[in-house]
Amino acid sequence: MHVAFLSLNAYDMLTGGHEGNVGGSQLQQALIAEELADRGHEVTFVENDAPFKEATAVNGVRVVLKDEHSDRSLPVRLPARVASTLRTLSEIGPDAVYARVPNLDIFPVAAYCSVTDTRFVYNFAHDSELTDDPMVFDGSLSDNAVYWGLMQKALGSADVLVAQNDFQYTRARERFPGTNVSLVWNGYPDPESGGDSGRDPDSRTDRSDDAPTKVLWVATLREWKQPEVVLELAAEIPDAEFVVVGGRASESPDLYDSFRAAANETENVRFEGFVPYENVDEYFARADVFLNTSTDEGFPNTFLQSWANRTAVVSLNVDPNDILRENDIGYCADGSVDEMAERLGELVRDDERRRRYLTNAYEYFVENHSIEQVTDQYEAALRGEL
């Protein structure tokens, strides 16, 4: 089976580049693609061209480039991008196309797959995609009713719509009653699967009394990720060390600079800036607690990275399917920063509770989120067996 991933900006994740595009959506695409390639499938990533990119092959995955036409106005950009995407798909001739995030390329993908009888699998990346206020990175499309009306028709033509959590699954079934909707968790490689990883569950809880508890935050700095909440928590919990890892977002570049300046003025906050994906696991392995301060998300990959590395999670808003609560692996503050500060403070000062959470977290991860289990389901969807 030949699968085309309409990845567009997952080049850094796949190649180990350092341009900063290493979010959760890109990570899932790269992990699934590489697992499919390991199983003998032909896999092609279709990427928007950029000066730092080149056609290549990495870990069995071929990368082809197409024109993005980002410097043109929307009336000119749309037909040019449609033509570029159609031409690229025609040249590579896939058996199935996987896409994620509602961008302009969904229209030519839907048209191509319909005309050529190619399977089209779409994966919702963010809960807001299934609300009346979808999160988009192209501001010119935020309030364009025609665009979103056409997007609903294009997504409705997919052979399978993949949801990451129960909220997405329920909403997708309501909005697309004639389309097959499937629930598939995100997956992540087990860092301990290769043998003894050296991660002793007691190593972070049985440290010297004067060693501060390490609290980690990892994300691209975007408005809806709310990194400023970290500064509020750091002020409330001065006996913890807060480590922030994240690159600059193209749609909100000033946020990076303002946060860095504020973090540098805060004694117990260390701002690392952008860190390549291959080095990020080291931060999770050293952390005691991971923070999520987003307004909402689908299923954060950083949760998986935390659990895989035996790290508890404290979340402001996001708790897909109440996983944190029901599995005793962290807290969700239901939108209250005050509640988040209180719960985080308790966890920072309670070694026994952290030890219980980190043990439960790893056990839950192994049972539910291996990349092999997840790819089994995507393989079935792409074959038409889901």
Q: 190-204, pLDDT tens digit by residue?
A: 988 764 444 555 555
* pLDDT at residue 209, as a whole number: 58
**How far apart (Å, rounded) are the C-alpha atoms in residues 5 and 26?**
11
pLDDT winner (highest mean) among 14-23, 124-133, 215-224? 215-224
Q: For 307, how many CA atoms within 13 A lie in the half-sphere containing its CB?
A: 25
* Average pLDDT rounded to a whole number, residues 353-358: 93
H/E segment holding residue 3? strand 2-8
Give pLDDT, residue 268: 97
| Relative orientation angle of helices 351-368 and 337-349, to the nearest 10 degrees | 100
pLDDT at 355: 93
| CA 225 to chain CA centroid, nearest Å | 12
CB 287 within 8 A of CB 216: yes
β pairing state of 160-163 and 42-48: unpaired
pLDDT, residue 197, reads 46
Q: Which residue's structure tokens are 């870990």? A: 59
Alpha carbons 346 and 356: distance in angstroms, whole number? 14
Quote the CA–CA distance of 115 and 99 in Å, as a whole number. 17
DSSP 267: T
- Mean confidence (pLDDT) of the chain: 90
If one compares 97 and 143, the residue with the highest pLDDT of the two is: 97
Q: What is the mean pLDDT of residues 161-176?
A: 96
The answer for 322, left when phi > 0, alpha when psi is -120 to 50, beta otherwise, is left
Looking at residues 371-384, what average pLDDT do you find? 95
Question: Are 313 and 340 spatial neighbours (Cβ–Cβ below 8 Å)?
Answer: no
Q: What is the pTM of this model?
A: 0.81
Q: Is 361 exposed, middle or buried (0-12, 13-18, 19+ CB in 10 A)?
A: buried
| Alpha helix segments (H runs only) across the chain | 11-15, 24-38, 74-92, 106-116, 145-156, 166-175, 228-236, 253-264, 277-286, 301-308, 323-326, 337-349, 351-368, 371-383
Pairing type for strands 289-292 and 312-315 reads: parallel
The band of 89, judged by pLDDT with boundaries at 50, 70 and 90, is very high
pLDDT at 133 over 80: no
pLDDT tens-digit readout, 266-300: 999 999 999 988 899 999 999 999 999 999 888 99
Q: Which two tokens stand for residue 7?
A: 């990845």
H/E element holding 291?
Answer: strand 289-292
Beta bridge partners of 56: 63
Q: Which of 43-57, 230-244, 357-371 has the lowest mean pLDDT?
A: 43-57
Beta-strand relationship, 119-123 and 96-100: parallel
CA distance 47 to 176: 28
Percent of the chain with pLDDT over 70: 91
**DSSP per-residue letters across 127-141:** GGGGSSS---S-GGG
Q: How long, in residues, is the chain?
A: 386
Please report the pLDDT score of residue 195 as a whole number: 47
* Overall average pLDDT of the 326-350 stretch: 96
Q: What does the pLDDT read at residue 194?
A: 60
Q: Which position has the higher pLDDT, 147 or 208?
A: 147
Q: Is the pLDDT of residue 205 over 60?
A: no
What mean pLDDT comes out for the span 70-80?
75
SS3 61: strand
pLDDT at 29 exceeding the cut of 70: yes
Question: Lowest-pLDDT range, 46-55, 66-75, 86-95?
Answer: 66-75
Region 129-157 average pLDDT: 79
Structural domains for the chain: 2-187+370-383 (3.40.50.2000), 213-368 (3.40.50.2000)
Q: Is the model's pLDDT at 71 over the cut of 80?
A: no
Res 20: pLDDT: 54
User: Cα–Cα distance between 381 and 386 in angstroms, integer?
Assistant: 5
Distance in angstroms (rounded) separating the CA atoms of residues 79 and 90: 16
pLDDT in tens, 230-256: 999 999 999 999 999 999 988 889 999
Quick check: 219 and 236 in contact, CB under 8 A? no
Buried/exposed code over 273-282 (b: 16+ C-beta within 10 A; e: otherwise): ebbebeebbe
Q: What was the pLDDT predicted at 201?
A: 52
The pLDDT of residue 104 is: 86
